[in-house]
Amino acid sequence: MEQPPFFVDPKFPHYVCKLKKSLYGLKQSPRIWLLKLHTYLESIAFKRLQAEPNLYIRKEGKTFILLGVYVDDLPIASNSISAMRKTISQLKMKFPVKDLGPMEFCLGIKVTRNRMESTLTLSQKKLVEDILKKLDMADCKPIQTPMTVPCKLSSNDSPQTIMDEKIMASLPYRQILGSARYLVSCT
């Protein structure tokens, strides 16, 4: 980090500062936070999954605790409420934690739990509706296959005139694809 303006040491103007603590807003801050969290989770017997590095698991006999990491949100799932409470209290000892109770929404995914039937349902209906509204497609008609299966595109399907190119450029094609990929990869 460069010396802050008006605090430059006149004897050593080319020296840089060494940060002893991460500052909010620096490029390195998320990485430093994740390393700190990772170190602490390992110290309380959590193991990071290789296939999903943002998911940690701790097993205690037949009890398991799953802890997800999304920046500073840590959704927790367990087959034991007491194990979950213990984990939350361990996290509270190290970090300022706000327990938001049972998860209802996470990253645009609605979580519905039915304890009587032992089911957990994930839905992205609201996110789909929001995307359709944003793309001005809220009144479109849904069909099973939006494009014929043996469809083969050719150069005749590309814009032929300058006006066609302007119309194509105005379509939010990247937004549609990005939104669709996000929906498909989440649930």
pLDDT, tens digit, 9 for 90 and up, residues 77-135:
999 999 999 999 999 999 998 888 888 988 778 999 898 998 989 898 888 888 888 88
**58 and 106, same domain (yes or no):** no
Place 146 in a pLDDT band, splitting at 50, 70 and 90.
low
Range of the domain at 72: 31-101
Instruction: Give residue 187's pLDDT band: very low, low, confident or very high (50, 70, 90).
Output: low
List C-alpha distances in Å: 117 to 77, 105, 113, 120, 125: 17, 20, 9, 9, 22
Residue 129 in domain = yes
Comparison of pLDDT for 51 and 28, the residue scoring more: 51
Pull the structure tokens for residue 68. 């997800």
- Verify that 125 and 48 share a domain, yes or no: no
pLDDT given at position 93: 94
Using the structure block, give the residue that is written with the tokens 């990772």: 38
Contact 176, 135 (CB under 8 A): yes
Asked if residue 24 belongs to a domain, the reply is no
Instruction: Decide if 42 is inside a domain.
Output: yes
Give 73's strand partners. Answer: 70
Q: How far is CA 13 from the centre of its chain?
A: 42
Say whether both 36 and 49 belong to one domain. yes
Shared domain check, 115 and 94:
no
For tokens 């840590």, the residue is 74
What is the DSSP secondary-structure string of 85-98?
A: HHHHHHHHHHS---
Alpha helix segments (H runs only) across 44-108: 81-94
pTM score, whole prediction: 0.66
Q: Is residue 26 part of a domain?
A: no
